[in-house]
């Protein structure tokens, strides 16, 4: 494939990290994702969080009902459970039997709706033991929460103080380091010694591939570019671009598209989260094209995720064209609106 094509075909991608919320707003965001992706891992940080198989089944039912309402038949939600200090080994085994795809570790207080998260991983030994034994992946929000740690260092400190000890204790546990944002995380995952086992991977968002932390303060405060983990320096963005476009199967697509109503973002204490779902594939294509690596997009977007999760790759093909798409200033979100990433600007690639 030439490195500057005007059209590319790829096996339909999946989104390995997505927030769609619940209730009235869900159908508005679900449609954007289902237009592009065949499957998505649905994050469990609802209020209250999805901590049991029964809650996940009920949530899945509400998603299916919305898909039906929207007339969307080709999209599959993949369900996760929210790990807590009290998650039992029995719940882990039940989750496996019921098709739950992973458990999400939110250190308590790390991000949106994470108050019920894990206070100390030592409480989770039985659950982690069971996960390791049955091949249930742990999806980690990789940031420490202590107020003494600078917000820009929280991911790097998490690697040294939580992730590395966790991997030492449970060497066969499958771990996805979610939405990585730093050179340290990119290199940690790239260089991790696994004895040939498929035990570590990372997802990368479009905003962390396309923007550095200047984007939060460009000409004034930009709440719609604020997410967690927060955007980092340019050297970190370059390290993410490097691993994402390298063809290394440990790195794959996860948008972390995280909808919040306009008013909740443009506020004295604005919520964290970028809404990238509207044209996420166009954003990723831009990032890969920026370094002449569009030929590596299909592996990152469509192959490495299902391979890590031991699921079949999709078979349907999609086409992306180098056709600028104007992004609306706002989109409907229940009875409010949402400001998508790159609102009022254009994205160079779009889905045909
Ligand atoms: O920016 C974020 N928003 N990061 C997260 O980890 C959670 C997410 C959300 O749910 O809004
Ligand atoms: Zn997330």
pLDDT tens for each residue of 263-294:
999 999 999 999 999 999 999 999 999 999 99
Asked whether the beta carbons of 105 and 68 are under 8 A apart, the reply is no
Ligand 1 centroid distance, CA of 189 (Å) = 22
Cα 77–chain centre separation: 14
Q: Is 203 in the pocket of ligand 1 (CB under 6 A)?
A: no
Assess whether pLDDT exceeds 80 at residue 113. Answer: no
| Helices marked H in the chain | 26-36, 53-70, 89-97, 125-134, 154-158, 164-169, 183-191, 206-210, 234-244, 262-265, 280-289, 297-298, 304-308
pLDDT tens figures, 192-235 = 999 999 999 999 999 999 999 999 999 999 999 999 999 999 99
Whether 85 is a known active-site residue: answer: no
Taking only the tens place, the pLDDT of each residue in 323-348 is 999 999 999 999 999 999 999 999 99
Are 105 and 139 in contact, with CB atoms under 8 Å apart?
yes
pTM: 0.97
207 Cβ closer than 6 Å to some ligand 1 atom: no
- Which ligand lies nearest to the CA atom of residue 260 in the structure? 1
Instruction: Break the chain into its structural domains and give their ranges.
Output: 15-312
Q: Are strands 317-321 and 7-11 parallel, antiparallel or unpaired?
A: antiparallel
Give yes or no for residue 105 CB within 6 A of ligand 1: no
Ion ligand 2 residues within 5 Å by Cβ = 256
Over pLDDT 90: what percentage of the chain? 94
Using the mean position of ligand 2's atoms as its centre, give its distance from the Cα of residue 1 in Å. 33
Mean pLDDT, to the nearest integer, of 81-99?
Answer: 97
Q: Is 225 in the pocket of ligand 1 (CB under 6 A)?
A: no
Ligand 1 neighbour 272 (Cβ under 6 A): yes
User: At residue 2, does pLDDT exceed 70?
Assistant: no
Phi-psi region of 247 (alpha: psi -120 to 50; beta: other; left: phi over 0): left
Q: Is the CB of 141 under 6 A from ligand 1?
A: yes
Q: What is the pLDDT of residue 126?
A: 97
> How are strands ordered across the β-sheet holding 76-82?
15-18, 39-42, 76-82, 102-105, 138-140, 175-177, 200-204, 251-253
CA of 44 to the centre of ligand 2 (A): 9
* CATH fold of 15-312: TIM Barrel (3.20.20)
Asked, as a colleague might, if the bond just before 119 is cis with ω within 30 of 0, I would say no
Q: State the DSSP code for 270.
A: P
Whole-number Å distance, alpha carbon 5 to ligand 1 midpoint, is 34
Among protein residues, the one whose CA lies closest to atom 3 of ligand 1 = 273
Q: Ligand 1 test: best mutation among 105, 258, 264, most atoms within 8 Å of CB?
A: 258
Alpha-carbon 347 to chain mean position: 20
Is residue 172 a contact partner of residue 225, using CB atoms and an 8 Å limit? no
Identify the H or E element spanning 265: helix 262-265
The chain-wide mean pLDDT, for the chain, equals: 96
**15, 28, 32, 256: which one is catalytic?**
256
Kindly give the distance from the C-alpha atom of residue 177 to the centroid of ligand 1, in angstroms, as a whole number: 14
Cα Rg of the chain, angstroms: 19
Ligand 1 contact via 228 beta carbon (within 6 Å): yes
The predicted model gives 66-94 an average pLDDT of 96
Q: 139-197, pLDDT tens digit by residue?
A: 999 999 889 999 999 999 999 999 999 999 999 999 999 999 999 999 999 999 999 99
291-333 pLDDT, tens per residue? 999 999 999 999 999 999 999 999 999 999 999 999 999 999 9
CA distances from 315 to 14, 53, 306, 312 (A): 12, 29, 12, 9
Q: With a 6 A CB cut-off, is 19 part of the ligand 1 pocket? A: yes
Query: Distance of CA 95 to CAs 8, 59, 112, 278, Å?
Result: 38, 14, 24, 31
Q: Does residue 1 register a pLDDT over 50?
A: no
Q: Rounded mean pLDDT of 78-91? A: 97
**Which of 256, 259, 274 for a ligand 1 pocket mutation test, highest count of atoms within 8 Å of Cβ?**
256
């Amino acid at each position: 494939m030439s490195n500057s094509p005007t059209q590319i075909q790829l096996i339909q991608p999946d989104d390995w990290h997505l927030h769609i919320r619940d209730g009235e707003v869900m159908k508005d965001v679900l449609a954007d994702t289902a237009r592009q992706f065949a499957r998505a891992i649905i994050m469990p940080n609802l209020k209250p969080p999805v901590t049991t198989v029964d809650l996940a089944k009920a949530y899945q039912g509400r998603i299916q009902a919305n898909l039906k309402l929207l007339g969307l038949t080709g999209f599959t939600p993949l369900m996760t459970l929210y790990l807590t200090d009290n998650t039992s080994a029995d719940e882990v085994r039940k989750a496996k039997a019921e098709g739950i795809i992973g458990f999400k570790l939110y250190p308590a207080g790390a991000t949106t709706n994470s108050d019920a998260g894990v206070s100390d991983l030592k409480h989770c030994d039985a659950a982690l033991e069971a996960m390791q034994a049955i091949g249930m992946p742990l999806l980690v929000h990789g940031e420490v929460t202590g107020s003494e740690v600078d917000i820009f260092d929280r991911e790097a400190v998490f690697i040294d103080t939580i992730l590395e000890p966790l991997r030492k204790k449970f060497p066969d546990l499958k771990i996805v380091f979610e939405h990585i944002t730093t050179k340290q995380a990119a290199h940690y995952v790239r260089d991790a010694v696994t004895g040939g086992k498929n035990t570590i991977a990372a997802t990368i968002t479009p905003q962390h591939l396309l923007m550095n932390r200047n984007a939060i303060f460009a000409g004034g405060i930009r709440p719609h570019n604020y997410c967690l983990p927060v955007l980092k320096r340019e050297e970190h963005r370059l390290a993410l671009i490097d691993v994402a476009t390298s063809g290394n199967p440990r790195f794959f697509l996860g948008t972390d598209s995280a909808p919040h109503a306009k008013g909740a973002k443009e506020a004295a204490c604005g919520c964290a989260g970028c809404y990238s779902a509207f044209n996420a594939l166009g954003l990723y294509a831009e990032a890969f094209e920026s370094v002449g690596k569009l030929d590596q997009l299909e592996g990152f977007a469509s192959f490495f995720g299902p391979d890590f999760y031991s699921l079949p790759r999709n078979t349907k093909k999609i086409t992306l064209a180098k056709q600028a798409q104007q992004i609306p200033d706002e989109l409907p979100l229940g009875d409010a609106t949402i400001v998508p990433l790159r609102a009022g600007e254009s994205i160079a690639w779009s889905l045909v």
